[in-house]
Amino acid sequence: MNKKENEKCKGALCGIKVLDLGQMVAAPYCAMMLANMGAEVIKIEKPGGGDISRENIPQKDGISTYYIAYNNSKSGMCIDLKSEKGKEILTALIKEADVLIENFRPGVMERLGFGYKQAAGMNKRIVYASISGYGQDGDYAQRASFDPIAQAVSGMLSVTGEVKGGGVRCGASIADVLAGQNAAFAILAALMHREKSGKGQWIDIALADSCISALASINQIYLTTGKIPSPMGNGFEASTPGNCYPAKDGDVMILAGTNREWKRLAMAFNHLEWLQDERFLNAAGRAENRDVLDRMIREQTIQYTVQDLMKMLLEQKLPASEVRNIAQVVNDPHFSEKREMFVDVDHPVLGPVKVTNLPIHMSDTQPYIRKCAPSLGQDTEKILGRLGYKGEDITTMRLEGVI
């Protein structure tokens, strides 16, 4: 990574300057996506503590690798944004920036003097992205929110879990990641628009909205039929069969909802009589008789090991996968080597730290992690020097707690 960091930038966003005032996941993830695509990202944290995710587990030798996972390829700077000197520094940074990303509660940045209108007054070309729980206005805007809250309020939690059971949170921070990705997409669109108009704009991304958007196929059930969707376990509402089925030594997810796939599934198990059963002649019939169909398939799958079952299904070109744990995924050469989804970054204290890579592959400007997440304030003096501050001023600001 050090070698790549010293190379001339080859990313698609080389020359774009980003200020990351985010904490935890959504805003930092968005900023990291841009950083790995070549943007110069300065992560701004408060002196003394920094991003609250620095306290999160997992940790190694007292250092949060949770923080590292979402903050690679960035420079790090500490500023007390409540101090006059700190405000002066951020103003200077905004004047030269292309993008500012923040995920404070709505109104906080305005009270600090750096809301969108205030920032646009300093730099009319600034693309300003605000990520929050519920958006910048409306009845819910001032409610506190984190990923599990967004999953609950959006309806996502209500359709996840076992049949006739209570709702279950998705194990990953899916609301945060969706919001971060949506923000990154919107930032790129705003930068393209700026090329034509010369003006930046304000982007308003909500965790709850991002989850609602991801639930489009589920929402459509209610919008079309009036039926309120409920948890289906590992079943798939849009097509049947589609479920997790037991083998002798594990479980396999199988989707065979189309007529063509249904035929292939019957062939895989050598039960061509299924194709003549009037209950299963079309997708609607198979969905109506979901329980009977799933029971028939389970009676077949349980006779095989996962390996043998997968061989049969893949020979028929069916969408299927064994249900894997995280260790199996990390150690699969397809993902770890071919797709490079897990890569090492060099931490100055911990040495090589393996992290999850971006799920993006580009022919000419491939994103890559240029350097490990910054230690708290590690680039403060270098950035201040670039802004024109002298060594004596920097020393004074450090003694005063400004940086």
Confidence of residue 204 (pLDDT cuts 50, 70, 90): very high
Q: What percent of the chain has pLDDT over 90?
A: 87
Longest Cα pair distance anywhere in the chain, in angstroms?
86
Question: Looking at 259, 293, 324, which one is the last position of a domain?
Answer: 324
Is the CB of residue 142 less than 8 Å from the CB of residue 106?
A: yes
Is the CB of residue 268 less than 8 Å from the CB of residue 315?
A: yes
Does pLDDT of 98 surpass 70? yes
Question: Looking at 324, 342, 367, which one is the last position of a domain?
Answer: 324
Range of the domain at 44: 2-214+332-399
Residue 312 belongs to a domain: yes
Does pLDDT of 87 surpass 50? yes
pLDDT of residue 7: 56
Residue 273 belongs to a domain: yes
Residue 339 and residue 311 share a domain: no
- What is the DSSP secondary-structure string of 274-316? GGG-GGGSSHHHHHHTHHHHHHHHHHHHTTS-HHHHHHHHHHT
pLDDT of residue 167: 86
The string of pLDDT tens digits covering residues 42-86 is 999 999 999 999 999 999 999 999 999 999 999 999 999 999 999
The string of pLDDT tens digits covering residues 16-49 is 999 999 999 999 999 999 999 999 999 999 999 9
Locate tokens 């590992």: which residue? 234
Residue 220 belongs to a domain: no
What average pLDDT score do residues 202-209 get? 96
Rounded Cα distance, 217 and 215, in Å: 6
Task: Tokens for 67, please give them.
Answer: 């923080």
Arithmetic mean of pLDDT over the chain: 93
Residue 235 belongs to a domain: no
The string of pLDDT tens digits covering residues 120-178 is 999 999 999 999 999 999 999 998 899 999 999 999 999 999 888 888 899 999 999 99
Q: What percent of the chain has pLDDT over 70?
A: 98
pLDDT of residue 390: 93
Residue 209 and residue 169 share a domain: yes
Residue 295 and residue 195 share a domain: no
Residue 230 belongs to a domain: no
Residue 208 and residue 161 share a domain: yes
Residue 314 and residue 297 share a domain: yes
What average pLDDT score do residues 257-269 get? 95
Residue 6 and residue 75 share a domain: yes
Residue 314 and residue 354 share a domain: no
List all residues 6 or more positions away from 277 whose beta carbon is below 8 Å from its beta carbon. none
Residue 226 belongs to a domain: no
3-class secondary-structure state, position 199: coil
This prediction has a pTM of: 0.89
- What is the DSSP secondary-structure string of 36-73? HTT-EEEEEE-TTT-SGGGGPSSEETTEEHHHHHT-TT
Residue 304 is part of a domain; what is its CATH number?
A: 3.30.1540.10
pLDDT of residue 266: 96
Residue 74 and residue 54 share a domain: yes
pLDDT of residue 211: 96
Question: Looking at 324, 357, 375, which one is the last position of a domain?
Answer: 324
Residue 390 belongs to a domain: yes
Task: Tokens for 310, please give them.
Answer: 């997968």
Residue 49 belongs to a domain: yes
Does pLDDT of 308 surpass 90? yes
Q: Which of 54, 72, 75 is nearest to 63 (CA)?
A: 54
- The number of domains in the chain is 2
Residue 344 and residue 317 share a domain: no
Q: Which of 358, 22, 27 is nearest to 179 (CA)?
A: 27
Residue 299 and residue 394 share a domain: no
Determine which of 52-56, 234-238, 257-261 has the lowest per-residue pLDDT on average. Answer: 234-238
Comparing 229 with 95, which gets the higher pLDDT?
95
Residue 347 and residue 249 share a domain: no
Rounded Cα distance, 294 and 317, in Å: 20
Rounded Cα distance, 81 and 111, in Å: 11
Does pLDDT of 6 surpass 70? no
Confidence of residue 4 (pLDDT cuts 50, 70, 90): very low
Residue 360 and residue 317 share a domain: no
What average pLDDT score do residues 294-306 get? 96
Rounded Cα distance, 277 and 326, in Å: 39
What average pLDDT score do residues 272-297 get? 93
Does pLDDT of 365 surpass 80? yes
- What is the DSSP secondary-structure string of 334-381? IIIIIS--EEEEEETTTEEEEEEPPS---SSS-----SPPPPTTTTHH
Residue 355 is part of a domain; what is its CATH number?
A: 3.40.50.10540
